[in-house]
A = this chain, B = another copy of it.
Amino acid sequence: MPATIPIIDCDVHPYPDAQRPIEPFIPSAFREAVRLSMDVAPGSGHANPFGVNRRDANCVDPKQVATDHLDRYGIVYAVLLPGGMNIGLTRNIDVGCALASAWNDWLAESWLRADVRYLGSICVNLNDPFKAAAEIRRAGTNPKMVQVLVSGESEHLYGHRCYYPAYEAMAELGLPLAIHPGREGALGSPTPIGRPSGYFEWHCTLPLTFQAHLISMITEGVFEKFPKLKLLLTEGGVAWLAHTIWRMDKNFKALRSTTPWLKRLPSEYVFDHVRLTTQPLEEPADPDHMLQIFDMIRADRTLCFATDYPHWDFDDPTRVFPKKMPDELRRRIFFDNAADLYRLNAK
């Protein structure tokens, strides 16, 4: 990798610990409810038996992560995605909303102040889209907050119109919606049919949820309704996008009269509004196949680099891409596409 390419890492996961706890940020009225309800946010029933984190990393100390991760790889900006992404699954809607604000205040005070390279994600409870919109407008006043973060598991497909109030706030503030895997299967089944038996199987099916949300948002016309809204699909796989674009475009030709609100080919909305992070990048035996996929999905516009630090399936920036990848494409994926998405050059 040329030493001259700066890096934006779009997926780094910080955790609270005893030094930087989240409890003080939760309003006292809700603190006991949160403590008692640690077990009511339903789990997916699938967990990596070897643990979610690498054995050598845990991401609880901003200074240590700056040294171990940012300095090591020359990362200019790292976008932080905390566990509050799953807040929309909290059964008690008001507790969920209170927790979302707590995550946002904790992130701002504990991490965003610790190093200029950290950028934040606003956690919201989309299960109350009106309070979510208010929280976006509140937490979004911090210029270091660069996106709104939600989990793949959700009450509805994200093209559902119930989410419009929150999308309106995101479009207004220029904050992309970022979807990240989170407890897929917690509210039902993580596949269209039933429950996978193991973590390996469950993990292979995660991209199904991303495909479903993307098809929903495109066909329901979210990007016609909110022309300034952007979508970032985080950690959901990359290579399936070619298929999804082509299938939507082919069906559009036959069925467009059923979606009169769509003014353009589905793929055009994708290329203008949708970005994907790279990790976990597929690794075909023939690296040329990956470069061909990059061409099909217009990776020079759509892909943003991410490591998923400190998780077990971390992608190492020095090793994950095909060696033959052109330098210009490498630069766009490592830096430019995320800088454009988050308007970092204007900050």
Stretch binding the partner chain, chosen from A74-82, A211-219, A322-330, A336-344: A211-219
| Smallest beta-carbon distance A61→chain B, Å | 26
A264 at the interface (CB under 8 A from B): no
Task: Report the separation of the CA atoms of residues A259 and B199 in the bound assembly, to the nearest whole angstrom.
Answer: 10
Find residues 201-224 in chain A having any chain B CB closer than 8 Å to their own CB: 201, 203-205, 207-209, 211-213, 215-216, 219-220
A115 at the interface (CB under 8 A from B): no
A27 at the interface (CB under 8 A from B): no
- Which residue of the partner chain B has the closest CB to A239? B243
Check B209–A193 contact: CB distance below 8 A: yes
Tell me which residues across on chain B come within 8 A of A152, comparing CB atoms.
192-193
Check A243–B237 contact: CB distance below 8 A: yes
The CB with the most chain B CB atoms within 10 A, among A184, A208, A312, is that of: A208
A92 at the interface (CB under 8 A from B): no
Task: Report the separation of the CA atoms of residues A190 and B157 in the bound assembly, to the nearest whole angstrom.
Answer: 11
Task: Report the separation of the CA atoms of residues A259 and B204 in the bound assembly, to the nearest whole angstrom.
Answer: 13
- CB-CB under 8 A for A243 and B246, given A196-B215, A258-B49: no
Tell me which residues across on chain B come within 8 A of A242, comparing CB atoms.
239, 282, 284, 289, 293
Q: When each residue 251-282 of chain A gets 1 if its CB lies under 8 Å from chain B and 0 otherwise, what string results?
A: 11011101100000000000000000000101
Check A194–B157 contact: CB distance below 8 A: yes
Q: When each residue 167-202 of chain A gets 1 if its CB lies under 8 Å from chain B and 0 otherwise, what string results?
A: 000000000000000001100111111111111110
A138 at the interface (CB under 8 A from B): no
Tell me which residues across on chain B come within 8 A of A240, comparing CB atoms.
240, 243-244
